[in-house]
Amino acid sequence: MNIVILDGFAANPGDLSWDWLKAYGDLTVYDRTPEHLIEERAKDAQIVILNKTPISRETLARLPEVKLIAVLATGFNIVDVAACRERGVPVVNIPSYSVSAVAQQVFAFILEFANRVGLHTASVTAGDWAANPDFSYQKSPTAELSGKTIGVIGYGRIGRRVAALAKAFEMRVLVNTAHPEKYPDADVTFLPLAEMLPRCDFVTLHCPQTPETDKLVNADFLSKMKDGAFLVNTSRGGEVDEQALADALNSGKLSGAGVDVLSTEPPHPDNPLLTAKNIFITPHIAWASYETRVRLMEILKENIRGFMEGRPVNVVNME
């Protein structure tokens, strides 16, 4: 059995081990694989493990040996799952491994906006406090979260965890989801977007990227948001029209935004969000804590073991 990892660096930059895979066959690990080298590196592999390296229908046709594609993430849109299904190749993913970490990142953005810890720390270390005549000063207004309203778009595992954290901060929670009837006991208020957006001080995205959610956050969406609100996106960059968001920030329609994902990663230098006002951007790290990656590796072990034992788990493309 030949096993190839095409882009292992993000999930394991060196603080974890791939050695357990050697029990199943010959292992080759690449930190990154450009598209023009995918076929060369994976052509003899029965198991292909990848994170963001794309496997299209055309690429799959040139990989005659592949029997399993294991994605090192929850999202699997980089693989043509229909083509894999037609070939009888299961695609497995890593579900639910980053729920706590992503929800924590949401509130890292919200708390940075509300408390401005970074701004005030920089001010103090620059000598502003030592030179100040008062015992306390503010470089920017701060705010309590208690009593504020947060709108959660998407009510899967991450959306529900964000709602729970918001309640701990005594925030009001509004939710928009396609199927509110699935949650009859939820202690939240379900609303259509048009009714929810004008009421929210914070809006956070937790829905999958589909044709329906592509550029969900556009100029019309932003115009419906409460003046001075704050937007968070830890979901998918393609769900946001980045120029429209930059315009809303630069005009003052929104007071700020926190994004961990962009439409193209790494971003083009001319991405309008890179120069927008009052935005916090992190490089797609919400999922990437050490503890979360350990969990990811344990689920990958289950996926590989299940496949080798003839009982594949976490398969996303087979009925």
The predicted pLDDT at position 254 comes to: 98
Burial grade of 110 (CB within 10 A; 0-12, 13-18, 19 or more): buried
The predicted pLDDT at position 241 comes to: 98
Whether 268 sits among the annotated catalytic residues: the reply is no
Which ranges of the chain would DSSP assign to H, the alpha helix? 38-42, 57-61, 81-87, 99-115, 117-125, 157-168, 193-196, 219-224, 242-251, 290-308
The predicted pLDDT at position 303 comes to: 98
The predicted pLDDT at position 208 comes to: 86
Whether 284 sits among the annotated catalytic residues: the reply is yes
Give the global pTM: 0.92
Give the tokens for residue 197: 């957006």
Give the chain's domains with CATH numbers.
2-97+290-308 (3.40.50.720), 99-281 (3.40.50.720)
* Mean pLDDT computed over 124-150: 97
Q: Is 232 left (phi over 0), alpha (psi -120 to 50) or beta?
A: beta
When pLDDT is cut at 50, 70 and 90, the band that residue 214 belongs to is very high
The predicted pLDDT at position 209 comes to: 85
Catalytic residue, chosen from 172, 199, 284, 305, is 284
* Mean pLDDT computed over 51-65: 97
Give the tokens for residue 228: 């001075």
What sign results for the dihedral spanned by CA atoms 10, 211, 237, 266? positive
The predicted pLDDT at position 210 comes to: 87
Q: What does each C-alpha distance from 269 to 52, 257, 274, 281 come to in angstroms?
A: 21, 19, 8, 14
Residues pairing with 241 in the sheet? none
Contact in structure between 11 and 51 (CB atoms under 8 Å): yes
pLDDT cut 90: percent of the chain above it? 97
The DSSP line for 208-254 is ---TTTTT-BSHHHHHHSPTTEEEEE-S-GGGB-HHHHHHHHHHTSE
The predicted pLDDT at position 75 comes to: 87
Catalytic residue, chosen from 35, 58, 170, 265, is 265
Does pLDDT of 246 surpass 80?
Answer: yes
Give the tokens for residue 1: 């059995």
Rounded to 10°, the helix 290-308/99-115 angle is 160
CA distance 102 to 265: 18
Task: Tell me the per-residue pLDDT of 273-288, one tens digit each, with 9 for 90 and over.
Answer: 999 999 999 999 999 9
Q: What does each C-alpha distance from 208 to 9, 73, 114, 194 come to in angstroms?
A: 24, 13, 27, 20
Whether 206 sits among the annotated catalytic residues: the reply is no
Contact in structure between 48 and 29 (CB atoms under 8 Å): no
Of the candidates 120, 190, 187, 123, the residue with the CA atom closest to the CA atom of residue 154: 190
Catalytic residue, chosen from 116, 160, 206, 236, is 236
Provide the CB-side half-sphere exposure for 4 (13 A, CA).
20
Task: Tell me the per-residue pLDDT of 174-200, one tens digit each, with 9 for 90 and over.
Answer: 999 999 999 999 999 999 999 999 999
